[in-house]
Amino acid sequence: MTVIVASKATGSPAALTRAEQARARQPLGPIVFLAAVLLLTLVGGALVVFMARSGSTTADLRRGSPIATSIPTDFGYLTVPYVEKLDGLTSKDLSGGAHGVSGLVKAGNEQVQIELELSSILRDKVTPYRVDEFSLLVGDGTKSLAPSSTTIHNGVLQPNSAVNGHLGFVVPKDGSRLRLRYAPQDGHSVLVELGRADQARPGETNHDH
């Protein structure tokens, strides 16, 4: 079959070539499909970015939660990339040898292990820091805990440098809200939301005497 169209130059009818006829009869299905795939890809990417940003400051402290939270300080940033919880041990777990064990976390409690980095972006000023400037606020904030273990020691941040390590805190497993507080002696305090502690299971208590 020959398709007749008006010639652009003369206005007279002209016959389409076979290639032009084939393109005219080509269905739009593949084009529509590709457009739909592209749209879904863009929407999915935007959703992933939104979820990543939303989750960056709302860790719920599962068995090791990467949270990648960075909070501005007077001299740089306090970053908490990872948090882990370790259950306490009962006397049965230790075959009755719990007495006199240093650093034992008893049943009904857990140790919150916090990985952190303290960084300075100052170019010409050093920044002293101390371990006792860190504490854990439990519940409404009226209860404050000092670190029970640490790999960070008192020191001085050089310009454009960072120090990293771990802080450990022993907390009751009562579902309380947890926040890390950094309160430098010469500066503003900052808080990092860490979610909530676990809730103890029924009968999960220590029976040491």
pLDDT digits (tens, 9 = 90+) for 66-125: 566 789 999 999 999 999 988 876 555 555 554 444 457 788 899 999 999 999 999 999
> In a structure prediction context, what are the per-residue pLDDT tens digits for the chain, which is 209 residues long?
444 444 444 444 445 566 555 555 555 566 666 666 566 665 554 443 333 333 333 334 434 445 667 899 999 999 999 999 888 765 555 555 544 444 577 888 999 999 999 999 999 999 999 999 999 999 998 999 999 999 999 999 999 999 999 999 999 999 999 999 999 988 899 999 999 999 888 776 654 44
Among candidate residues 167, 171, 193, 169, the one with its CA nearest the CA of residue 180: 193
| 41 in Cβ contact with 178 (< 8 Å) | no
* Burial of 139 per CB tally in 10 Å (0-12, 13-18, 19+): middle
- CA 34 – CA 36 distance, rounded (Å): 5
Predicted TM-score (pTM) of the model is 0.62
